[in-house]
Structure 1
Amino acid sequence: MNPYIFLRALKHAEHTVFGVQDGQKTYYNPMFRRYCPYSSGQQVKRSMLEELTSKLNVPMAPVTYNYQITKDKQLENKEIWSPCDPNYVDQLIGGWMRAGDGATLKRRSPLSISAMRPLHPLLSGTTSENLTFDRSNRPNNNPVNVRVAGSDKLLTEEEIETFLTTNGRALTRRHWIPENRRANGLFVHDVAIDLRTLFSVSTNQHEPELSKEKIEELKAKGWIESENTFGKCLVLPNNERTKIIPALAKSLLHWRITSNQARTFSLMETLAVAISDNASTIAGTIRAKLTDDGDDLKAKPVLDETAGADLFVTLPCAGYIADVNESADALIKAEEKLIAMMRAFDYEKQN
């Protein structure tokens, strides 16, 4: 059995934001000379892990923020410490890194996750708008404070009125927030699941994933001593794997970016999912086709059931792609496919 599962999902996003810093993130596509909105693989992974812990109703692993007081009495950021503990499901699935005092501990995530980017540069875009924070309709309920730059002293009402009259100015209860970009279009992301390390943690102490103390703790909790292609390892017991696999399947399909949803909500509905143990087939199953319409190049989304991957098409997809075999239970069937593939792998006897 191929120890990899590959997944490509097609999503629709409507007038939303994938990032918080400087508004919507974009990258430049030189072939089509367009700025394309995207969500980083790290943000997609974080969204999946939040969905996973929510489904299992367990907390995410705590991290320790370290600071150091310098000689000139300043606070300096130091390394952030992860607990490096696979008892936390987001650590087991998401991996960890801890450097600093003592040995460096590092576990590579068994999930490789791409950025969520346009299916084709011509099938996505951004719009820009100016927002307002406006309370001008209720001036009496919303006071205004005025202070001179460099001072904490507030001007009195009489001083404010004198300044406004003298300088011909007015105070408003409206703030403009300019140049807010929003993303629209059809987007894809890819996931590769390495089943060899999905529930296995290396006990190698030359490039350690775990401390010796944590290894003994896991053994006492019933983790199974085994060996995979990377060497000796500990495997999560079957009863725990049975709980995680269905929740992981759901999380891979039903996640969405939630960090900006208060002001830019979008369902980010999944339109189609391709699943295979061959990466090339998912790329062919959900793709775009470039067409030449006179002087204008256009891109057409394509769902190809003959490309070799299992394809699952949801009802909303018919609103964006013609002639598709959509179904109401598409994502349920996709979950069942993922669960079956993950359960079929022999985690305890890999060699």
Structure 2
Amino acid sequence: MNSTIYIRTLKRAEHTVFCVADGQKTYFDPQFRTAVPYSSGQQVKRSLIDALSNALNEIPAPTTFLFDADKDGKLKEGEVYATCDPSSADQLLGGWMKASKGGTERTIKRRSPLSISAMRGLHPLLTSTPNENISFDRSDRPNNAVIVRNEKGEVLSEDQIAALLTGKDRSLSRKWIPDNKRANGLFIQDMAIDLRRLFCVLQNPLEPEISAETEAKLLANGWVECHNIFGKCLVAPKAIRAKLIPALAYAIVNWSITSNQSRTFSLMETLAISVSDNANKIASSIRAKLHEEDDNKAVPIIEEELAGVNSFVSLSAAGYIRTKKEVADALDNAQQHLVDLMMAFDYENQMK
């Protein structure tokens, strides 16, 4: 019984920002000596959970922020934790950790059954990070408030401001913002779904995933006691699985990064998705190779008939990659394939 689903997603980004640090976060590729834009696995996971919550029409579980106030009234950062309750879909699939200060309570933690990579370039030569200069211009509005302070922090009068600007060609209603990085190119993102833990919560008293109160609540709500390779566990009932699996498949296929894009929105469309139970084959399914005659040029490749891999190629992919397999309903087919794989797993009888 195959217990892991590997997924590789190919996306195209066009003049956008999806992880901010000096305009756009990058890492340096030492072989091709170029900066490669990327989005962290944490940001991808956040985008996936947002898509999941939207598909379910549910608000994610609340987060508790703890602060400590000293005798002078200053606040210091304390612990941050969520509900640690798998009754919420974002908690069950996203994982949690609650570690109380002082060690007076047992730490409870659940590692997410979804292993999520960063979104990075399909190849260093197939991405770029161009720079652009932008401006924040409100010079056409007569009702702007302009405040100028001197070295003592005192606010200058209008006459003092006028005197200060004498002989200077300077607007106080316009800001120039130079050297903003943007990301272009083809990007891949990998994911592994551990079906053994997808809907199972362990009942290990030495390394607890849930509190005794939460365990009692789950049992009362129909969760089933079972065993898997990790030990005794509680499995979500079929009704919950039937609700969550289509939503998770939708999120995997349709997630997109929308944060940090107020000025530079990109559809970041999905060009292709490959699904397999073999990590090595999934790496070969969507890849790039150096051009035969030019080492400074890379060619993107989608293996359309690779044994052990199901590849789904969208219509838009044909504009960037040579392919004969593109179809209009490719992403719908990928979504249904993921649903079928997750539905077929025997969550209650994993030790057979």
TM-score, L = length of structure 1: 0.95
Q: Are the aligned partners of 1:146 and 1:154 in contact in 2 as well (CA < 8 Å)?
A: yes
Look up the match of 1:155. 156
- What code does the residue aligned with 2:147 have? N
Q: Shift of residue 175 of structure 1?
A: 0.2
Go from structure 1 to structure 2 and tell me whether the alpha carbon gap of 1:148 and 1:329 turns closer, same or farther (over 3 Å shift): same
Q: How far apart are the structure 2 equivalents of 1:243 and 1:10? A: 27
Look up the match of 1:89. 89
- What code does the residue aligned with 2:279 have? A
Look up the match of 2:306. 307
Moved more, 155-164 or 335-344: 155-164
- What code does the residue aligned with 2:220 have? A
Look up the match of 1:79. 79
Q: How far apart are the structure 2 equivalents of 1:96 and 1:37? A: 28
- What code does the residue aligned with 1:93 have? L
Q: Shift of residue 276 of structure 1?
A: 0.9
Moved more, 234-243 or 316-325: 316-325
Go from structure 1 to structure 2 and tell me whether the alpha carbon gap of 1:337 and 1:155 turns closer, same or farther (over 3 Å shift): same
Look up the match of 2:148. 146
Q: Are the aligned partners of 2:18 and 2:261 in contact in 1 as well (CA < 8 Å)?
A: no
Q: How far apart are the structure 2 equivalents of 1:163 and 1:192? A: 61
1:209 correspondence with 2:209 = yes
Q: How far apart are the structure 2 equivalents of 1:107 and 1:121? A: 35
What secondary structure, in the 3-state scheme, does the structure 1 residue paired with 2:331 have? helix
Look up the match of 1:103. 106
Q: Are the aligned partners of 1:303 and 1:324 in contact in 2 as well (CA < 8 Å)?
A: no
Go from structure 1 to structure 2 and tell me whether the alpha carbon gap of 1:89 and 1:133 turns closer, same or farther (over 3 Å shift): same
What secondary structure, in the 3-state scheme, does the structure 2 residue paired with 1:12 have? strand
Written as runs of structure 1 = structure 2, the 5 A alignment for 1:190-205 is 190-205=190-205
Q: How far apart are the structure 2 equivalents of 1:285 and 1:56? A: 31
Written as runs of structure 1 = structure 2, the 5 A alignment for 1:4-15 is 4-15=4-15
Written as runs of structure 1 = structure 2, the 5 A alignment for 1:227-306 is 227-294=227-294, 296-306=295-305
Q: How far apart are the structure 2 equivalents of 1:168 and 1:287? A: 55
Moved more, 63-72 or 186-195: 63-72
Deviations 1:240-262 (A, max 9, x none): 11011011001001000011232
Aligned CA RMSD, in angstroms, stands at: 1.5
Deviations 1:55-110 (A, max 9, x none): 10111111111111234542110111221110110010000011114011110100
Q: Shift of residue 169 of structure 1?
A: 6.4
Q: Shift of residue 163 of structure 1?
A: 3.1
Structure 2: tracts of 5 or more residues without a match: none
Q: Shift of residue 170 of structure 1?
A: 4.2
What secondary structure, in the 3-state scheme, does the structure 2 residue paired with 1:327 have? coil
Q: How far apart are the structure 2 equivalents of 1:25 and 1:171? A: 31
Q: How far apart are the structure 2 equivalents of 1:168 and 1:349? A: 78
Q: How far apart are the structure 2 equivalents of 1:324 and 1:272? A: 12
Structure 1: tracts of 5 or more residues without a match: none
Q: How far apart are the structure 1 equivalents of 2:226 and 2:151? A: 67
Look up the match of 1:137. 140
- What code does the residue aligned with 1:173 have? S
Q: How many residues get paired?
A: 347
